[in-house]
Amino acid sequence: MSFDKAPRSNRIHIAILGRMNSGKSSLINTLADQDVAVVSPMAGTTTDIVYKSMEIHGTGPVVFIDTPGVDDDSLLSEARVARTMRAINKADMAVVVVDAKLGEGEPEAQLYSCLERKRVPYIVAVNKTDLCDADCVLCDGAGASGEGDAPRVCVSARTGRGKEELLGAISRLAQSVGGLGEGPPIVGDLVSCGDMVVLVIPADAQAPKGRLILPQVQTIRDVLDHEGIAVAVRIDQLRQLFADKDFLPRLVVTDSQAFGEVAPVVPESVPMTSFSILFARHKGDFELLVEGARAIEGLEPGDVVLISEACTHHPIEDDIGTVKIPRLLNAKVGGELRYEWQRGGDFPEDLDRFKLVINCGGCMLNRREMCSRLEAVADAAVPVTNYGMAIAACLGILPRALRPFAL
């Protein structure tokens, strides 16, 4: 997949942080060589999160996240600063932009502390150096306490000074940390060269005609990248394949919603799992999600369950999150559970009132944001799992779906 076509969720996320009017948006425009963010001399121009995807030589595909200023004191300041904090939860690394004329103070110190607490590596970019009469002392490493050994680069978004140095610093930081934005392979470590992987792709109203959904595409790509053989079939074609008793693929991967139809067709000797379970491992804390699926056994009627979807869409008839999973859970516990739904980038703070959190597969989230969500739920001491594992647990086939992972 070419860099310009890489899904946003597969890119290294770099948050651009700082005070209002420190030049964050201008710096992104300079790095991207185009006007992707609105800039103005007026403080507070950036009022929402803006994403810009590009490629950095030596780093690969990245997405810059432009954020509102952390010192916003307008009527909407609380909401804007909250959006900036959510951006940090998505960030694999960050660039803190400091106004060379204003210097560093409490806003920067709070940012440094937050990034270090969340273990997000960062660079300090001292901007507007073209407005300084002499060499900027901030570029010599002097500044607010708490920034530790963070690299510092003097830049001018207006003149382009320091652009290449900043891009180089980003690349070096990504290489020094290693594995930014990466998790285990989707399926590559489960197969060897020449192994056949059968991908069961049922007709689904949520995947319009002529299109595959992102997890299916990425799984096929991962099989091919690891020199396996990907065979995509419908459920009726799967029955034809296994009519031959000698047909023994290395792995069968199905849509979680088709578990009930696929499991009886696939011989017990053939490992089987789902796209959603593969992505639970690829994107998040696999063991934590497995524990959450097993906790379904302890649910009782009346318990409150949060169902969280990362993307926003209008629920269709028999929607997986609003209809299918609640129906399966109610049947499993023998009574009615109480449900709440959360869609999009927001995530509740009062998580301790739920007995279980079920997140979607997270195909639109990067690994960093998924892990941030899981950590928040774990800190509230609430079990958490994802759609595929929840479905497998309700159908009583979770042990079989986890067998390929030796769990």
Give tens-digit pLDDT for 170-184.
999 888 776 566 678
Is a pLDDT exceeding 70 seen at residue 37? no
| Domains of the chain listed by start with CATH number | 3-177 (3.40.50.300), 188-277 (3.40.50.11420), 283-400 (3.40.50.11410)
Q: What is the DSSP string of 268-333?
A: TTS-EEEHHHHHHHHHS-HHHHHHHHHGGGG--TT-EEEEEESS--PPPTT-IIIIIHHHHHHHHH
CA distance 158 to 81: 26
Report the greatest alpha carbon distance in the chain.
Answer: 81
181 or 371: which leads in pLDDT: 371
Is a pLDDT exceeding 90 seen at residue 121? yes
**Core vs surface per residue 28-60: b (16+ CB within 10 A) or e:** bbbbeeeebbebeeeebbbeebbbbbbebeebb
Question: What is the mean pLDDT of the segment spanning 45-56?
Answer: 75
Q: What is the DSSP string of 73-130?
A: -STTHHHHHHHHHHHHHH-SEEEEEEETTT---HHHHHHHHHHHHTT--EEEEEE-GG
Q: Is the CB of residue 172 less than 8 Å from the CB of residue 146?
A: no
Give tens-digit pLDDT for 338-354.
999 988 767 788 999 99
- Comparing 57-66, 150-159, 240-249, 294-303, the range with the smallest average pLDDT is 57-66
CA distance 33 to 399: 51
pLDDT value for 166: 94
- Enter the tokens of residue 131: 């407005």
pLDDT value for 144: 40
Give tens-digit pLDDT for 233-270.
999 999 999 999 999 999 999 999 899 999 999 999 99
Strand partners, 94: 15, 122
Question: What is the mean pLDDT of the segment spanning 207-236?
Answer: 88
The residue to which tokens 């432009």 are assigned:
66
pLDDT value for 74: 55
Give tens-digit pLDDT for 3-26.
455 677 778 899 999 998 899 999
Q: Is the CB of residue 181 less than 8 Å from the CB of residue 10?
A: yes
CA distance 147 to 108: 9
CA distance 254 to 286: 18
pLDDT value for 76: 46
Work out the pLDDT band at 358, boundaries 50, 70, 90. very high
Q: Is the CB of residue 58 less than 8 Å from the CB of residue 103?
A: no
Is a pLDDT exceeding 90 seen at residue 394? yes
**Core vs surface per residue 360-381: b (16+ CB within 10 A) or e:** bbbbbbbbbbbbbbbbbbbebe
Question: What is the mean pLDDT of the segment spanning 369-386?
Answer: 93
CA distance 113 to 156: 25
pLDDT value for 143: 41
- Measure the CA angle with vertex 310, ends 25 and 220; round to 5°: 100
Work out the pLDDT band at 56, boundaries 50, 70, 90. confident
56 or 148: which leads in pLDDT: 56
